[in-house]
Structure 1
Amino acid sequence: MGKKQTARNQLDDEFEITGDQTYARSLGPRGNHQHEVELLDGSKTLVTLPPKFRNVVWLKRGHYVIVDPTVGITEKVGGEIAFVLFPKNIKDLKAAGKWPAQFSEAAPAVSDHEEESDDDLFVNNNRPIMSSDDESSEEED
């Protein structure tokens, strides 16, 4: 039997960019296991997510991947995702000086200890909003 593929296994795998492979940033899923990505030169293309990553890794807008433009080329698809980069991988690449400058500028520095502001919280519009001002005016009466 084969080894069950998990995100942790994929995170522990060593990777190396070879040949025509390049870094890319995901711009979002487009359906049928296809994702639109922005390459280092700023061009946008459609790439496929290979079966070994399906139902294992959830690729969202803003995630970074390594794209192989020589595999799976069709009229609409410009390549295949060779590796999904996790934050640990990106940190290691930055420490080694291999992370591309194009993505370093665009990525905002996020601290692990930043507190969320109230503006970032989800607001449920299906529930009435109870403010503290209404409660204090009822107590005065």
Structure 2
Amino acid sequence: MHRSHPSISRRKHLMKEMMEDDYALPTETQQIARVISSRGNNLHEVETVDETFLVSMPNKFRKSMWVKRGDFLLVEPIEEGDKVKAEICKILTPEHIKEYTKAAIWPDKFTKKPVQEEATSQNKDDSDFEDDLLPNTNRPVNRDSSDEEEDEETSSEED
């Protein structure tokens, strides 16, 4: 009988657990944190509303779940940690974020700007950026068609 690789079945069960999540709200000891960077050895630097510190990824998530910069986590403090102050309890999905926002427990620090404000600020940044660009000297400068017509008229009159 052929058995599947243990890590594949573990990953399958973790994914199933994550999909069937009841979106339980964090306990009093748990905190919502955003990943700032990965430090290696299953350590991640995170920021909460108050501070920045390292968290560890528990064995059950290793090699089956990945987090990247900007992801949100639910972390629980650990007592024995000096530099590593917490352990990851849950990797939050957009559905978790919606539920936490509805329950009014999502930190204001992590709330995104409205889309219109982002687009407006991005357009301002783009126009500033274009103004700062120097002309490309490797390409010939294209003149307007009206300038060319005037030049042709003056050259034909001179002949």
TM above 0.5, one fold? yes
User: Which residue among 92, 97, 120 is the counterpart of 2:99?
Assistant: 92
- The equivalences for 1:100-139 within 5 A come to 100-104=107-111, 107-109=112-114
The residue that corresponds to 1:78 in the other structure is: 85
CA change 1:24–1:109 in 2 (3 A) is same
Deviation at 1:33, TM superposition (A): 0.5
Q: Is the 8 A contact 1:11 1:86 kept in 2?
A: no
Q: Find the partner of 2:41 among 5, 25, 32.
A: 32
Question: Which amino acid is the alignment partner of residue 7 of structure 1?
Answer: M
Question: What amino acid does structure 2 have at the position aligned with 1:77?
Answer: V
The 8 Å contact of residues 5 and 56 in structure 1, kept in 2 or not, is answered as no
- Which TM-score applies when normalising by structure 1? 0.65
Distance in 1 between residues matched to 2:69 and 2:20, nearest whole Å: 23
Count of residue correspondences: 110
Going from structure 1 to structure 2, the CA distance change for 1:5 and 1:55 (only over 3 Å counts) comes to farther
Q: Within 2, Cα distance between the matches of 1:108 and 1:19?
A: 27
Tell me the TM-score normalised to structure 2 length. 0.58
**1:55 counterpart (39, 63, 66):** 63
More contact order relative to length (CA 8 Å, sep ≥ 6): 1
User: Structure 2 vs 1, CA of residues 58 and 102 (structure 1 numbering), >3 Å: closer, same or farther?
Assistant: same
Structure 1 residue ranges (4+ consecutive) displaced by more than 6 angstroms after TM superposition? none
Partner residue of 2:75 out of 57, 67, 71: 67
In 2, Cα distance between equivalents of 1:6 and 1:75:
29
- Please name the residue that 2:30 is paired with: 21
Q: Which runs of 5+ in 2 are unaligned?
A: 1-8, 117-138, 140-159
Identical aligned residues as a percent: 36
TM-superposed deviation, 1:98? 2.3
Cα 1:39/1:58, change in 2 over 3 Å:
same
Structure 1's unaligned 5+ residue stretches are 112-132, 134-141
Partner Cα separation in structure 1 for residue 115 and residue 94 of structure 2: 12
Question: Secondary structure, in 3 states, of the residue corresponding to 1:5?
Answer: helix
